[in-house]
């Protein structure tokens, strides 16, 4: 049930700007909604962090994955069971940058016997890593739209991202990887019975939303062209708080911008907030001392 509710909700989110971003409606979808989304994001993010910070943690509850520090002749795991601040920092860095705990994840299944079997589950780690880093690259590439002059690292990143020199404009690998990784995470949730059983609308909705966002971006870049000069004028105006609606921006851009606005506003109140929550989790940020 949750999958269909989420699917049709995202379809509705696509149709709303497609129908409404005509004439005077462009002001609503191009200026009012993006500002409102950012405001909700900032307030919601601060609220969630403050609430987490106010939650009492009266005892040590770090999650451990190795031998703790004890007697001098017993080898301990400084990253999997950190006993110092330096170890916690190293563990957090590996968690945030390389998803170390997900890398160590295993799958469990019942086999003939019945016997419980354990196996490697690295595909989820690969997909999650590809998804997050592709999203980061896409985000940084969009700096070109609201920064003038464009920073040199943005041009360098675009050169690396489009190194295959396919098509005109160049095919950017990050956009394709982002879409494929999101599709994999969705199909995995549908194909694995255990995951499908515990999945709710809150699990499917952000995946459908990101798939629609990435898909509309690819459509704009390669199939349904928009006036990029007008787009940059609009985005620059939003960032500088002097917003205007230039003529000639296609409806597909307002669909893309509206989906992005929904994602930004939804972020603090969803499971996507793990991006900030990982730093506030006592199971991760405490030393086992």
Answer yes or no: is pLDDT of 186 > 80.
Answer: yes
**pLDDT of res. 170:** 81
Instruction: Report the pLDDT value the prediction gives residue 169, as an integer from 0 to 100.
Output: 76
pLDDT tens by residue, 194-211 = 889 999 999 999 999 999
Q: How far apart are CA 42 and CA 37, in angstroms?
A: 9
Of 184, 186, 91, 175, the residue nearest 133 (C-alpha): 175
Q: How far apart are CA 147 and CA 155, in angstroms?
A: 12
Residue with the bigger pLDDT between 121 and 61: it is: 61
Looking at the chain, the number of H-run helices and the number of E-run strands are 14, 2
> Each residue of 134-148: pLDDT tens digit?
999 999 999 988 887
214 vs 41: CA distance, rounded Å: 20
Tens-digit pLDDT profile for residues 43-71: 999 999 999 989 888 888 888 888 999 99
**Rounded mean pLDDT of 180-192?**
94
- What angle do the packed helices 152-161 and 122-141 form, to 10 degrees? 130
Comparing 98-107, 127-136, 252-261, the range with the smallest average pLDDT is 98-107
**By the 8 A CB rule, do 42 and 241 touch?**
no
pLDDT digits (tens, 9 = 90+) for 149-175: 888 888 899 888 888 777 677 888 999
CA angle at residue 132 from 128 to 134, to 5 degrees? 115
112: pLDDT strictly greater than 80: no
User: How much is the pLDDT for 289?
Assistant: 86
State residue 151's pLDDT score.
86
CA distances (Å), origin 213, targets 26, 45, 209, 261: 19, 21, 6, 10
Measured distance between the N- and C-terminal CA atoms of the chain, rounded to whole angstroms: 46
Q: Is the pLDDT assigned to residue 180 strictly greater than 90?
A: yes
Structure-model confidence comparison of residues 118 and 277, the more confident one: 277
Query: DSSP secondary-structure letter at 150?
Result: P
The HSE-up count of residue 178 (CA atoms within 13 Å, CB side) is: 24
What is the pTM assigned to this prediction?
Answer: 0.91
Alpha-carbon distance of 118 to 247, in angstroms, equals 59
**What are the tokens at 269?**
């109140």
> What pLDDT score was predicted for residue 40?
97
**Percent of the chain's residues with pLDDT above 70:** 98
Average pLDDT of the chain, as a whole number: 90
In this prediction, residue 113 carries a pLDDT of 66
DSSP H or E segment with residue 172: none
Length of the chain as a residue count: 289
Q: Is the pLDDT of residue 106 over 80?
A: no
Token pair for 62: 């770090």
Three-state secondary structure call for residue 106: strand
């Amino acid at each position: 049930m949750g999958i269909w509710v989420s699917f049709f909700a995202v379809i509705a989110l696509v149709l709303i700007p497609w129908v409404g971003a005509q004439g005077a409606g462009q002001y609503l979808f191009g200026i009012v909604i993006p500002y409102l989304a950012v405001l909700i994001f900032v307030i919601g993010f601060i609220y969630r962090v403050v609430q987490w910070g106010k939650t009492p943690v009266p005892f040590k509850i770090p999650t451990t994955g190795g031998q703790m520090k004890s007697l001098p002749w017993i080898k301990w795991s400084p990253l999997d069971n950190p006993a110092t601040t330096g170890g916690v920092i190293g563990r957090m860095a590996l968690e945030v940058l390389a998803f170390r705990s997900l890398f160590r994840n295993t799958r469990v299944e019942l086999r003939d016997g019945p016997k419980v079997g354990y196996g490697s589950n690295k595909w989820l780690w690969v997909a999650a890593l590809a998804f997050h880093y592709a999203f980061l690259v896409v985000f940084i590439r969009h700096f070109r739209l609201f920064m003038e002059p464009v920073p040199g690292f943005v041009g360098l990143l675009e050169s690396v991202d489009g190194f295959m020199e396919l098509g005109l404009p160049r095919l950017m690998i990050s956009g394709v990887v982002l879409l494929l990784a999101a599709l994999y995470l969705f199909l995995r949730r549908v194909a694995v019975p255990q995951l499908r059983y515990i999945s709710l609308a809150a699990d499917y909705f952000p995946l459908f939303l990101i798939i629609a966002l990435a898909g509309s971006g690819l459509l704009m870049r390669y199939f349904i062209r928009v006036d990029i000069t007008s787009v940059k004028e609009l985005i620059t105006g939003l960032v500088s708080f002097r917003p205007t609606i230039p003529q000639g921006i296609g409806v597909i851009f307002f669909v893309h911008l509206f989906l992005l606005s929904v994602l930004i506003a939804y972020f603090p109140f969803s499971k996507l907030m793990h991006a900030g929550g990982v730093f506030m989790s006592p199971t991760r940020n405490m030393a086992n001392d």
